[in-house]
Structure 1
């Protein structure tokens, strides 16, 4: 298949048309790390195809859709989950009512209001636009997108969400309004995924929080080997 391209300072990136497939991962740029395509839409068909090819959308409101497949890739093997002693104490106290997938839209909306930092730790605005919320709520309706939520006094105070395809889970974002609310939701999510025999959680980018939970980086080729096996299951 032939592609039209955007010419960027560090290389060329495929320009996706409405019916255009993603280019091979070998064409992803090294700088910025993993940028592989620009354009297209956020239809359920395209999003599911992207995730199954190790690609995810990440862009700011007002920009065209940008598609990424970075290397190395931050992942968490569910059986390698680490829980700090302080978090274990919180979990034992059970301060929150933890609910599964009861208000997916509210979780996304709260995540969209959580400040994002760029690679230099500068404020970068939200990447969860209204368009993205609608697209992922459609995936939730179709049974692919799920949320884990922490509630306190019947108020949503923390949570996380992502996409499950087969035995593969793609983590997207989390938020908290109360200390440890998102961490509690994340631990419950991982334990739920363990019951579903999920073999790998894609965390996308390295963060200190994910590393504290046992996340680690692997190269793209290794990530894709796991992904191809687990999405078929």
Structure 2
């Protein structure tokens, strides 16, 4: 599955970072996701470059293997979940520079907002009883792929709110049917506890090729 921009996966280096660029555009991002690649800004010798990643071991969440604990099921009842009602706010909350490991810069915000306008990026929001946004996530959806980008929760008022958004997303994808693919980029102990597993780059690209044959889901309020 050779990419017009990123070439043949057989020629990619045996590492997660497969390339760097000064350029960053909407066509590049769309091509990247359909090729199994995603962008992330990097500081390279004091210069801001765009890194392009295709992890050797990719984190995915099999839709039938999501683990929902009894305590999480109780917390889910506290929130109302919506789709695409506050995309900009979700991205801004995820981009909060005070967060540990913050990486989302203005280029990412602007480009993913453009993707959202085109119907290729979506948010899932979790709101409390007062209607306040206390957690959520956003990602890119093309065909049967949903590539999760980032998630957040309000530490004071949104316990398990981001997990609630994830559960709702999985349910939406699962009920749509077909070999849909929920990509989380890299696994972490936290994500593994929810059912995320790692697959090889080759396996991921095969799953992606199949997922891209499916019709895109309709998200929305």
Q: Which of 37, 43, 46 is matched with 2:28 structurally?
A: 46
Question: Which residue in 1 is equivalent to 2:120?
Answer: 144
* Structure 2: unaligned runs, 5 residues or longer: 215-221
Q: Matches of 2:186 and 2:48 in 1, distance apart? A: 20
After superposing the two structures, state which structure 1 stretch, 182-191 or 82-91, moved more.
Answer: 82-91
- Any residues of structure 2 matched to 1:131-210 within 5 Å, and which? 131-152=107-128, 153-177=130-154, 178-197=158-177, 199-210=180-191
**How far apart are residue 42 of structure 1 and its match?**
3.4
Contact persistence 1:107–1:161 (CA under 8 A) = yes
TM-score, normalised by the number of residues in structure 2:
0.85
RMSD: 1.8
SS of 1:58's partner is: strand
Provide the aligned length of Structure 1 versus Structure 2: 203
Question: Which residue in 1 is equivalent to 2:218?
Answer: none
Task: Please identify runs of 4+ aligned residues in structure 1 that moved more than 6 A.
Answer: none
Q: Which has the higher contact order (CA 8 A, sep 6+)?
A: 2
State the Cα deviation string for residues 11-40 of structure 1 (Å, max 9, x = none): xxxxxxxxx71133234334xx31111115
- Any residues of structure 2 matched to 1:70-149 within 5 Å, and which? 70-91=55-76, 94-113=77-96, 124=101, 126-149=102-125
Q: Matches of 1:42 and 1:171 in 2, distance apart? A: 19
Q: Matches of 1:167 and 1:187 in 2, distance apart? A: 17
Q: Matches of 2:171 and 2:86 in 1, distance apart? A: 19
**How far apart are residue 97 of structure 1 and its match?**
1.7
